[in-house]
Chain A
Amino acid sequence: ETGVTQTPRHLVMGMTNKKSLKCEQHLGHNAMYWYKQSAKKPLELMFVYNFKEQTENNSVPSRFSPECPNSSHLFLHLHTLQPEDSALYLCASSQDQAHQEQYFGPGTRLTVT
């Protein structure tokens, strides 16, 4: 148990659906991250939020829309996804964005049909 929770753990959605992934951290951290892990590829950073402000967008398609309403919660809104978006989506947090150890959630396994 790392103190970072993600829901749902598994999600199957069609290409026309709209869904959201949720991440919550109970560590008092101020930075939160979304990563994508596809089969046979390294983890890819998607977004970084530091004190609720987005500080990095790693050229992610607009069909992925992040939201950070407060330092403890992070959402990833999904719409009109493609089958190649199927992956494990991991959320992480750290004390702040400056060089601190990151703690990861268990991930959401997303399948786009």
Chain B
Amino acid sequence: KQEVTQIPAALSVPEGENLVLNCSFTDSAIYNLQWFRQDPGKGLTSLLLIQSSQREQTSGRLNASLDKSSGRSTLYIAASQPGDSATYLCAVRLSWKDTGRRALTFGSGTRLQVQP
């Protein structure tokens, strides 16, 4: 069974800092990995999707990397802003051949607070 772990569970940083959020997964036979942002009491917003054949994806100040063999992904946020405060979730989708696990498996998230 795929398990997804996110470290740290919570993080508080001053505005302007660069930071790294970590995600690890136990089954490396993934098809893709997706990073989401969730504001309190709200739904999820997709940030980046990395296919298993890719090493990284970038969107603005966000950069996500994937090391499938070691079961790790990182989300790098450059020059953090108070508006980045949210919970960041990592989710993996197993390979298509694993027909019992087609949907996403989520981590518990990292709750980020950026102090002005």
Contact = CB atoms under 8 A, between A and B. Distances in A.
B43 A99 contact: no
B107 to A, nearest CB: 6
Nearest to B9: A40
B42 A99 contact: no
B7 to A, nearest CB: 14
Contact of A102 (B42, B46, B96, B108): B46
Nearest to A47: B103
A89 B58 CA distance: 30
B36 to A, nearest CB: 8
B19 interface: no
Contact of A103 (B46, B93, B96, B107): B46
A68 to B, nearest CB: 15
Contacts of A66: none
Interface of A: 2, 4, 6, 33, 40-43, 45, 48, 55-56, 88, 90, 92, 97-99, 101-107, 109
23 contacts: A2-B43, A2-B45, A6-B43, A42-B107, A43-B89, A43-B104, A43-B106, A45-B103, A55-B102, A90-B43, A90-B44, A97-B102, A97-B103, A99-B93, A102-B34, A103-B46, A104-B36, A105-B43, A106-B43, A107-B41, A107-B42, A107-B43, A109-B41
A33 B103 contact: yes
Contacts of A40: 108
B107 A106 contact: no
Given A98-B96, A99-B31, A101-B34, A45 B43 contact: no
B104 to A, nearest CB: 6
Given A42-B105, A99-B32, A102-B46, 16 more contacts: A33-B103, A42-B106, A43-B91, A43-B104, A43-B106, A45-B104, A45-B105, A48-B102, A90-B43, A98-B102, A99-B96, A101-B34, A103-B46, A104-B44, A106-B42, A107-B42
